């Protein structure tokens, strides 16, 4: 059964059609790749799912529910967590506090309970701190728990954002280029962590990534988009042999080379 279903969505920005009648679905428990050349519209798809943008047309269903009826801050309550391509961390806060904010939707204490630090708050706080500690441990972030995010190296920050998405215990996680800018070692670690999402937590993953080796090694199926349109769908083998995909990537490369010359 498909967990997430994207039906024929389109969105345009001042004349530019960023997504054009795009449909695909993500099965529960699977790891699905969403790839395409720069500017293809991958991040825009994420932003539509996370409700930052409202598609001009089409439908997004999550577990059969219409996602477009919800506000951005309600998406995580539904069970969808995301990371951002350009990282949207809380940079002045510690790593631990970032992971506590990650569990914001899991805590339902009212204002006065918090203002007067009643027992319920204390119980809640220790629960979410335990959860954060567990995730930090798994991501190797424990030594940085009390460091401010802004003081950490880029690779660690990337991991913090990943951990922050995971700590909310989502059903579906959207990863936007989790390995961008990472060295081979770090990429290896990230690959392992993404694999664990399925094997340990049973979380469904929708992955945007330019590193094809990574994508091929973990995705069950891949959707390829270009200029906002879906140009191919299939298993990693099928995709790597698809002439249209090769054309889209190579064509773009030639263009780039032309532009550079």
Ligand X SMILES: Nc1ncnc2c1ncn2[C@@H]1O[C@H](COP(=O)(O)OP(=O)(O)OP(=O)(O)O)[C@@H](O)[C@H]1O
In angstroms, give the least distance from the CB of 111 to other proteins: 7
Among 8, 57, 117, 244, binds other proteins (CB under 8 A): 117
Distance of CA 255 to the CA centre of its chain: 29
Q: Cβ closer to other proteins: 3 or 95? A: 95
Q: Return the residue of 6, 18, 80, 95 that touches ligand X, per CB under 6 A.
A: 18
Query: Which residue from 28, 172, 156, 20 is spatially nearest to 89, judged by alpha carbons?
Result: 156
Taking CB under 5 A as the criterion, which residues in 59-118 touch Mg ion? 85
76 binds other proteins, rule: CB under 8 A: yes
* Closest C-alpha among 1, 17, 19, 18 to residue 9: 19
**50 interacts with ligand X by CB under 6 A:** no
Min CB(119)–other proteins separation in Å = 13
14 binds other proteins (CB under 8 A): yes
**Residue 2, interface with Mg ion (CB under 5 A)?**
no
Among 37-45, 74-82, 165-173, 239-247, the segment contacting ligand X (CB under 6 A): 37-45
If the CB atoms of residues 164 and 232 are measured against other proteins, the closer one turns out to be 164
User: Closest distance between other proteins and the C-beta of residue 104, in Å?
Assistant: 5
Question: Rounded to the nearest whole angstrom, what is the least distance from the CB of residue 94 to ligand X in the complex?
Answer: 29
Binding to ligand X in span 84-103, by CB under 6 A = 85
Residues 177-206 touching other proteins, rule: CB under 8 A, are 177, 180-181
Residue 43 makes contact with Mg ion by CB under 5 A:
yes
Comparing CB distances to ligand X, the nearer of 84 and 90 is: 84
Identify which range of 19-27, 69-77, 233-241, 246-254 contacts other proteins by CB under 8 A. 69-77
Strand partners, 64: none
**Site residues for Mg ion per CB under 5 A:** 43, 85
């Amino acid at each position: 059964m498909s967990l997430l279903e994207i039906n024929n969505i389109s969105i345009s920005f001042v004349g530019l059609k960023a997504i054009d009648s795009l449909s695909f679905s993500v099965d529960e428990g699977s790891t699905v790749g969403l790839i395409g050349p720069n500017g293809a519209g991958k991040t825009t798809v994420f932003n539509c799912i996370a409700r930052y943008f409202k598609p001009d047309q089409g439908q997004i269903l999550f577990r059969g529910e219409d996602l477009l009826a919800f506000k951005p801050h309600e998406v995580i309550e539904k069970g969808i967590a995301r990371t951002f391509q350009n990282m949207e961390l809380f940079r002045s806060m510690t790593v631990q506090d970032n992971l506590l904010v990650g569990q914001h939707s899991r805590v339902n204490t009212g204002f006065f309970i918090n203002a007067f630090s009643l027992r319920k708050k204390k119980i809640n706080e220790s629960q979410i701190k335990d959860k954060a500690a567990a995730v930090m441990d798994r991501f190797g972030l424990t030594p940085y728990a009390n460091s401010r995010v802004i003081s950490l190296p880029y690779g660690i920050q990337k991991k913090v954002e990943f951990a922050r998405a995971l700590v909310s215990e989502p059903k579906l996680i959207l990863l936007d280029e989790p390995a961008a800018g990472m060295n081979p070692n770090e990429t290896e670690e990230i690959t392992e962590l993404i694999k664990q999402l399925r094997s340990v937590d049973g979380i469904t993953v929708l992955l945007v990534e330019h590193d094809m080796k990574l994508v091929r090694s973990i995705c069950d199926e891949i959707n390829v988009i270009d200029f906002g349109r879906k140009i191919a769908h299939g298993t990693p083998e099928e995709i790597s042999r698809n002439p249209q995909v090769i054309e889209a990537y190579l064509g773009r490369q030639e263009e780039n080379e032309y532009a550079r010359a």
